[in-house]
Amino acid sequence: GSASKGDYRHFMLKEIHEQPKVIAEALEGRLGDRSVLVESFGPDAEALLSKASQIHLVACGTSYHAGMVARYWLERYAGIPVQVEVASEYRYRRVVVPENTLFVTLSQSGETADTLAALRFAKQGGYLGSLAICNVPGSSLARESDLTLMTRAGPEIGVASTKAFTTQLTALMLLTLALGRVRGQDSEEQARLVSALRGLPAQVERVLELDPQIEILSQAFAEKHHALFLGRGAHFPVALEGALKLKEISYIHAEAYPAGELKHGPLALVDSEMPVISVAPNDELLEKLKSNLQEVRARGGELFVFADENVGLADGDDTRVLHLPYIDEALAPILYTLPLQLLSYHVAVLKGTDVDQPRNLAKSVTVE
């Protein structure tokens, strides 16, 4: 095919390293000085977005995790109620659609059977309109939706999605800002997020420089059979995505929990054979997360923490800490996804699996 791995050993690694460039492309022409350019979503976007009073987000797999992150953003920065659901469940539910609900699908391929069926079902169901956030121009999902926002990640060959996810998140932040704008978001907050977005590609570049350290960390996982990922708030879906990556390509059983749920079950599994991975950006939930991590340590669990350089978490006996540069908390879910992608990648390489073509999985699932 036309795609080439260049100097990279796998497409997945190449695609991980393309993220600074494709995130910049996803932003290109869509940001003004202090606010998002709603016009860049298409001529009808402003009228449609202004009418929306709720959002239903539907997707599968990694795209579903992007939707889960977006729920936190849309509620917090645009003040709009959001429901997120996997397409295979949504399409068979008797969904109650409140007036003026915007239906949003997320899909790398634009051809996932369940997501497409959900869109077709939604089109008969009294929605205000539909928006597809999608990576493949001209795909079925893009063609059949009222509005499209292309993620511009370029072809993604690795079955485990990486750059498609972070560009979806970038597009979802743009959607959040567009909705924020038409719904009266504080203009200083909008300007702060726009400027943080402009700096994002460079921050992603810096996180990729941690690769050699993450490769060393990965050795601790190669012999393990289970792993537990923890996050809070918008980082709970980041933890879910980290666990999914590890499952998909290294075949290690991995679960993700919102850290506050630890005491309601998974703590019973924690011992020295169960590595626990956590993302600890510098946000309002940090202190709560720290005490959750203390619970793990007290049970002899081996902890791996990706933390903001300013949060005061340091390496200890059973704790390995890797520091990420400071980032505006709104964008932290994008940045903290990267070390988890790299971790899974290196564990899979150590285990000798077929990284780009994991067993039993397909890049795009076009049958139900």
Other CB atoms within 10 A of residue 29 CB: 8
Q: Nearest-5° angle of CA 296, CA 297, CA 303?
A: 80
Instruction: Specify the residue, 67 or 281, whose C-beta has the smaller distance to ligand G6P.
Output: 67
Q: Quote helix, strand, coil % in the chain, to nearest 5.
A: 50, 15, 35
User: Is 290 one of the annotated active-site residues of the chain?
Assistant: no
H/E/C letters for each residue in 53-67? Answer: CEEEEEECHHHHHHH
**Token pair recorded at residue 147:** 């509005």
Site string for ligand G6P, 3-22 (x = CB under 6 A): --------------------
Instruction: Specify the residue, 19 or 112, whose C-beta has the smaller distance to ligand G6P.
Output: 112
Among 19, 88, 101, 112, binds ligand G6P (CB under 6 A): 112
Q: Which residues 156-185 are close enough to bind ligand G6P by CB under 6 A?
A: 159, 161
145 binds ligand G6P (CB under 6 A): no
Instruction: Specify the residue, 86 or 196, whose C-beta has the smaller distance to ligand G6P.
Output: 86
| Least gap, CB of 361 to ligand G6P (angstroms) | 5
Kindly state the number of chain residues that form the binding site for ligand G6P, as judged by CB under 6 A: 15
Among 19, 108, 203, 337, binds ligand G6P (CB under 6 A): 108
The stretch near ligand G6P (CB under 6 A) out of 41-49, 54-62, 229-237, 257-265 is 54-62
State the sign of the Cα–Cα–Cα–Cα dihedral 270, 274, 275, 277: negative
Q: What's the order of all strands across the beta sheet hosting 253-258? A: 253-258, 226-231, 276-280, 303-308, 319-324
**Token pair recorded at residue 326:** 């400071």
363 binds ligand G6P (CB under 6 A): yes
**Token pair recorded at residue 98:** 């409140």
- Active site positions, annotated: 363
Give the interface with ligand G6P as residue ranges (CB under 6 A): 60-63, 107-109, 112, 115, 159, 161, 361, 363-365
